[in-house]
Amino acid sequence: MTLLHPNCLITLVLCEQIMRTVINQATTDVGRQIIVNHRRHYVATLVLGVFFAVFALSAAQAGASGPYRIKSDIAYGPASGRPATSRLDVYVPNEKAAEPRPVVVWIHGGGWFKGDKANSTMPGKAKAFVDAGFVVVSANYRLSPDLKGPEYLSRNRVRFPAAHLDVAQAVGWVNRHIERFGGDPGRILLGGESAGAQIAALLATRSGFLQAQGVSAGQIKGVISIDAVGFNVPRMMTSKYRRRNAGFQRMMFNAFGTPAEEKRKPRWSAASPVRYADPTDPPIYFVESAKAYDRQLDAFRMAVKLEQRLLVVWRVVPLSHRDGIGALLGNAGNDRGVTRRVIRFATEAVNPVVPQIVARGKRVVRANGAPTATVRLELDVKPRVRQLFCTMDKHLTELCPPSWKLAPGLHDVHVEAFGNTGRLVGEKTFKVEVKK
């Protein structure tokens, strides 16, 4: 550790030279002695002042870096394409933890043809996750050509599955090395915005990518999808979609192949997470634009196939892709409520809850000659869950009401508890009886 910054040392040397000049130019011995005495106090004061200034500057710089330190440009595989591909950054929490922390692997967006792991929104995202107890990894991957460049739609261009293979390799690196940085390879979340969210969702639902890198499906605990594009690739390749959004279709042709290329070697379905999603896959949290109905529909279809309660695991905001929806997570200004909800999902995904459901109230009531009686059950669930659904006698399932009007007889109340991942985390059946 250097005590003084080099510029501060230069300042001291210059001040010392000036004092020597003044001493040499003094006309009397008494004058020289007075100046020498003042010089000693002056230099001592200057040294102390510079020391405290440097200390304050160092403290300010340490705080400016956030609650983490960054290990940048770590190679996770052989270099390919741009010099920055096959590289990742690790955001390591400054605060030590008693146990290994869960890990978020973040995948940048950019239409599969642009973007970088260290974009301007990454510090905010990293801080949000680190503050919540995660280690964060941000990875680059091979990109398709620029849409206006000479290699656009060239025969040998980078396209699917190159980016997905690269990110899978990065997750494989995390599996092998993240313990050195305080991370737990058994609890990994994948996340991304736009194209990065599509990559994350496909890796989570089509397990072969990660299995080839030695990562088991059980290690991936959840996915964070912000404004994902490409859950259903074939749908975006139709003439109907082209009439609505020709620019996006050009981007899809670039990344996944033109219709002519698809005829020679089909890839579109293989790139579609909605084709592979099922209840055994990790849960997904969706952040969607209120202006992008097609993406909302894709999220709905994914949630149905994953058996998630969509209203628990999605946030629709009045911002479009161009308005900056991808920058909401970790935004210290106005994040539209995204950060809190994402962190709540992420925390439960890596630390599942097992609630205990208790029903309080009379299990036996009398109708006193009336056709029905009111049955009230107070449901107490610990730890708390997001939603409780009740099914009375295998009929209508609804959010649990405070009471039921029941005819005389024996009735079954089946209670289902759904957590912050939108998945069923607990259930229990209670019997109630209405006597005449």
- Strands 87-93 and 68-75 turn out to be antiparallel
| CA atoms of 227 and 242, how far apart (whole Å) | 19
CA–CA separation, 105 and 199 (whole Å): 11
Summarised one tens digit per residue, pLDDT across range 287-319 is: 999 999 999 999 999 999 999 999 999 999 999
CB atoms under 10 Å from CB of 100, counted, come to 16
CATH entry 2.60.40.10 includes domain 356-435? yes
**What is the Cα–Cα distance from 161 to 168, expressed in whole angstroms?**
10
Question: In the 8-state DSSP scheme, what is residue 326?
Answer: G
Query: In this predicted model, what pLDDT tens digit does every residue of 163-203 receive, in sequence order?
Result: 999 999 999 999 999 999 999 999 999 999 999 999 999 99
Q: How many CA atoms lie within 13 A of 191 on its CB side?
A: 28
Across 313-367, where does the E strand assignment appear? Answer: 314-317, 356-360, 364-366
Take residue 277 and report the two structure tokens written for it: 């999603």
The pLDDT tens digits for 127-166 are: 999 999 999 999 999 999 999 999 999 999 999 999 999 9
> Rounded to the nearest 5 degrees, what angle is found at the Cα of 220, between the Cα atoms of 214 and 223?
135
Where residue 56 falls among pLDDT bands split at 50, 70, 90?
Answer: very low
Return the domain boundaries, the chain.
6-64, 68-350, 356-435
Q: How far apart are CA 190 and CA 159, in angstroms?
A: 21
Q: In the predicted model, what is the mean pLDDT of residues 237-253?
A: 89
Quick check: 167 and 141 in contact, CB under 8 A?
A: yes
Distance CA 385, CA 381 (A): 7
User: Rounded CA gap, 400 and 72, in Å?
Assistant: 50
Domains 68-350 and 356-435 fall in the same CATH topology:
no
Strand bridging mode 135-139 / 101-107: parallel
Give the count of beta carbons closer than 10 Å to the beta carbon of residue 75.
11
Topology classification of domain 68-350: Rossmann fold (3.40.50)
pTM: 0.83
